[in-house]
Structure 1
Amino acid sequence: MEEGKAYIESGILELYVLGELNEQEQHEVEAMAAQYPEVKQEISAIELAMEEYAIQHSVQPSIGLANKILEKIEAATVATPKVSENLTPATPQEAKILPLYPEGYESKLKTLRIALIACAVLLIVAGIALYTAHTELGTAKEQIIALNQDKQKFANTVNYMKETNRELQTIADMPNDPDWKIVKLAGTKMDPQAKMMVYWHTSGRHVMVDNSKMGLPKNDQAHQYQLWALVNGKPVNLGVFDVKADTTHILLKMKEIGSAQAFAVTLEKRGGVASPTMDQMIVMGSVSI
């Protein structure tokens, strides 16, 4: 049930009705509709909504359109040929003059003309209505795509805010948990102004870098910063990271460590190295006991 509801809210059903999905995606939607009645009902509701939207926004043809069509048809109508009044009888007897068309023909012809005109008018009206509906449906399609894009942007924003709040709450709770160690790393002779903050949970082994308090120069595409833990005088690799002005997370998770006496950061080639380059050490800080 929850899966069907989540599938409906994803916005893929609107794209299915509009014909914007490839064959594989269409089969996926049809399979979900067969499995979940609510998905099938939602597809029917979307189709009905689009049809009602097109009808409500259709444009009626102008009143003078029918008159113009009548005038053109009347002008193109060929006049009925007249019967010659001077017929010479084939025999000396008086010849009977027979009408060229049966009685009532003119009336039937007039009725037929009117019917043809009415059909032509209806055909033009239907064509205009169909064109208008197609135009309105295209507009509705564009609006639905735009709404889906806005929906995705909103969802991304909400997720970002949730993640940010969770990370801020983690930082706020650290003083109440004695297992959290807040290690301030200060600049070395490589860059005396550099600084950053490392959070280490001694029992949980978690190590995180605080992006909001990052005071390191932005690295280029060929290099990355590498975090090290000093364990009994030996450096242990805790992973690499980049310094970005538009980072999406406050806390950056690094590799776990069970014990450490200090943390340090060096600037290394992208991907990291097995041993730290000591003359490229930019910050370092000891763990307070």
Structure 2
Amino acid sequence: MEEVKAYIESGILELYVLGQLTRSEQEEVEAMAARHPEIQTEITAIELAMEEYALQNAIAPSASLDQKILSSLSSLQSHQEEPKAEQNPPRPEASVVSLAQHQPADSRVRSLRIALAACAALLLISLVALFSAHSKLSEAENQIASLSSQNQKFAATVGFMKDHNQDLQKIADMTADPAWKIVKLSGTKMDPQAKMTVYWHAAGKHVMVDNSKMNLPVNDQTHQYQLWALVNGKPVDLGVFDVKSDTSHLLLNMKEIGVAQAFAVTLEKRGGSPSPTMEKMIAMGGVSI
């Protein structure tokens, strides 16, 4: 009895039911089951337990597939049960028959159903795992895209603050430096409320417009403002610019000039004009000595 108990607890019967043994190992289990009824009882119990587990955790095969399998098994069983003419009388020493040949048909069907249910369970588990992995991958991609967008916005904000602070520092330095002249332009009849500020370094010929202190109507896509320097009564082109609602760049660099008595702004066609349109002059201011 101890030998039978140890044999049952070895785990070989579970492998036998799952079909994981070699042919010689299967014959050994069948021989042991033929000699010891308790081993056969344990095999039947293992089959029933595995069948119940598989059916509870798997999707049942379709009715048509089940019927086809049962029909095939019935045909195979009928074929095996046909009487065969015996060429020679059986010999006593050759009368040992394997356990599989004595198994009832319902046991074989049950074993096949276990295998089908196990395959269906594995397929379901694989599909669930694949869907879960795909969902996690999509979520990770969305998080990466969100982080990338946030990094771009942060970089743009840092760049804006850097340029903004540099322009503020330049304005502070120019205001404190007597070499820079601050020319304030006032509105004309075209727009009395217009105003803007020009920073001019005569020695260096630098001209800059303060976008933060500009009060001009926003120009459309077909027009631009043009800055002029009046030199001995003649206008000199200093370049064009657009009025923008934002102040991302506080200072606008214009063309250089070393001598000027006044500055003026006109509204011209986009790209500028070789000479100012006097009726479109919107602001003007003289240079204080």
Which interval holds the TM-score relative to the shorter structure? 0.5 to 0.7
Q: Which secondary structure does the structure 1 equivalent of 2:132 belong to?
A: helix
Alpha-carbon deviations, 1:55-92, whole Å to 9, x = none? xxxxxxxxx8862537548992525536898959789x
Alpha-carbon deviations, 1:223-275, whole Å to 9, x = none? 21100011222211111111222342111111122222211111111110001
Partner of 1:233: 233
Q: For residue 239 of structure 2, what is the amino acid of its counterpart?
A: G
**Aligned counterparts of 2:259 and 2:89: Cα–Cα separation in 1:** 135
Alignment of 1:191 onto 2:168: no
Following superposition of structure 1 onto structure 2, how do residues 48-127 of structure 1 map, counting pairs within 5 Å? 67-69=56-58, 72=61, 76=66, 78=70, 81=77, 103-104=99-100, 106=103, 114-115=114-115, 117-127=117-127
Partner of 2:134: 134
**Aligned counterparts of 1:288 and 1:208: Cα–Cα separation in 2:** 17
Partner of 2:259: 259
More displaced, 153-162 or 247-256? Answer: 247-256
Q: Percent identity?
A: 57
Alpha-carbon deviations, 1:5-63, whole Å to 9, x = none? xxxxxxxxxxxxxxxxxxxxxxxxxxxxxxxxxxxxxxxxxxxxxxxxxxxxxxxxxxx
Checking the alignment, whether the CA contact within 8 Å between 1:73 and 1:117 is kept in structure 2 is no
Q: For residue 177 of structure 1, what is the amino acid of its counterpart?
A: D
**Aligned counterparts of 1:85 and 1:245: Cα–Cα separation in 2:** 96
Checking the alignment, whether the CA contact within 8 Å between 2:61 and 2:120 is kept in structure 1 is no
TM-score by length of 1: 0.65
**Aligned counterparts of 2:61 and 2:84: Cα–Cα separation in 1:** 40
Q: For residue 104 of structure 1, what is the amino acid of its counterpart?
A: A
Q: Relative to structure 1, is the Cα distance of residues 65 and 271 closer, same or farther in structure 2, using a 3 angstrom cutoff?
A: farther
Q: For residue 254 of structure 2, what is the amino acid of its counterpart?
A: M
Which runs of 5 or more residues in structure 2 are unaligned? 1-52
Checking the alignment, whether the CA contact within 8 Å between 2:185 and 2:263 is kept in structure 1 is yes
Q: For residue 67 of structure 1, what is the amino acid of its counterpart?
A: Q
Q: Which secondary structure does the structure 1 equivalent of 2:271 belong to?
A: coil
* Structure with the higher fraction of residues in helix conformation: 2
Q: Relative to structure 1, is the Cα distance of residues 213 and 84 closer, same or farther in structure 2, using a 3 angstrom cutoff?
A: closer
TM-score by length of 2: 0.65
Alignment of 1:277 onto 2:273: no
Q: For residue 69 of structure 1, what is the amino acid of its counterpart?
A: A
Q: For residue 124 of structure 1, what is the amino acid of its counterpart?
A: L
Checking the alignment, whether the CA contact within 8 Å between 2:175 and 2:182 is kept in structure 1 is no
Which runs of 5 or more residues in structure 1 are unaligned? 1-63
Q: Which secondary structure does the structure 2 equivalent of 1:104 belong to?
A: helix
Name the Cα RMSD after superposition.
3.6
Q: Relative to structure 1, is the Cα distance of residues 194 and 123 closer, same or farther in structure 2, using a 3 angstrom cutoff?
A: same
Partner of 2:217: 217
Q: What's the CA shift for 1:167? A: 0.6
Checking the alignment, whether the CA contact within 8 Å between 1:200 and 1:208 is kept in structure 2 is yes
**Aligned counterparts of 1:223 and 1:129: Cα–Cα separation in 2:** 62
Alpha-carbon deviations, 1:174-194, whole Å to 9, x = none? 232121111001122222221
Checking the alignment, whether the CA contact within 8 Å between 2:54 and 2:117 is kept in structure 1 is no
**Aligned counterparts of 2:146 and 2:54: Cα–Cα separation in 1:** 36
Aligned length: 223
Checking the alignment, whether the CA contact within 8 Å between 2:219 and 2:243 is kept in structure 1 is yes
**Aligned counterparts of 2:178 and 2:213: Cα–Cα separation in 1:** 21
